[in-house]
Structure 1
Amino acid sequence: MGFELGFNQPLLFLPEPFNGIGIQANYTYSDSEFDEDVGDNGFGFPGSSKNNFNSILYFEKDDFGVRLSYIFRDDYFRNLPGQGAQAANSRAVFTESDERLNINASYDLTEKLSVFIDVNNITEEGRRDFFQEKSTFNGSFNRERTVTVGITGRL
């Protein structure tokens, strides 16, 4: 169960050349749980954060577009301990809150052909896992920045 709030606001009132700027954002609250026959011990659905926030600052004009996005999610239950069930004596793994900064730029060469570049995880944020309490460290994982360059065609 949960809810989501979001908006998209192009800032059309801005003077040239800034009249292609806009802002998008959304917040999602999600409270998940398993049925008792799955073995619920109160951790919710794996991978589901209670609080998620996404925002995008964008500029789109004529054949050019650029988007800078910020993504946040809070701590979340990572896996079902034991053999496919949440056994009460198993150690559940959680992941700490996560932030990401991404940028994407594209240019339409023709009506049917575009080029783009995506840079994901600009600040190279990693992942930290823990058992039940944040003081019980389980592991740290590096997530490098990735850059993708490509061409998109439309029929």
Structure 2
Amino acid sequence: MDYKSKIRTIPDYPAKGIMFRDVTTLMSDSEALAAAIEDLCRPFERMNVSKVAGIDARGFILGGAMAVRLGAGFLPLRKPGKLPYETWSESYALEYGSDALHMHTDGVEEGEQVLLVDDLIATGGTAEAGVKLLRKGKADIVAAAFLIDLPDLGGARTLRELGVEVMSLVTFTGH
């Protein structure tokens, strides 16, 4: 599957000089979405993944489908104020300010095999926060999987430096 042809690029969004990679076009194509789920899952089929942790919000779409495909549970990593039970929080830097991810304190058990999933990795701040949350729960992170990697922004490198294997289906150079 030529995934790049299924992803719309929007220049100068949300700011001048940014090339926004819009995965909603891929997700609206049933054949492309099914192929992407299969290709994202394939490396992990024999790894006994017990949970797929999806990052708010497009990581929920991919992660839920991947969890079903892998016979695993789904764990949402959400923005502040969205989870009803006790949570752990990890803040991360944005270009202008900061944000945070939350996870239920009982979301994972020690040693559980967890796959972290999102649509795109850029600078890696959000994914790094996800890794830190999963490690608070003493999960074993088998890898992080993304539709898109923007390698020039260094996020995948950051995760690898944390000891997390990274895989993506496509890469785009630049921002």
So what's the TM-score if we normalise by structure 2? 0.25
Bigger relative contact order, structure 1 or 2 (CA pairs below 8 A, ≥6 apart): 2
Q: Which has the larger radius of gyration?
A: 1
Q: Give the structure-1-normalised TM-score.
A: 0.27
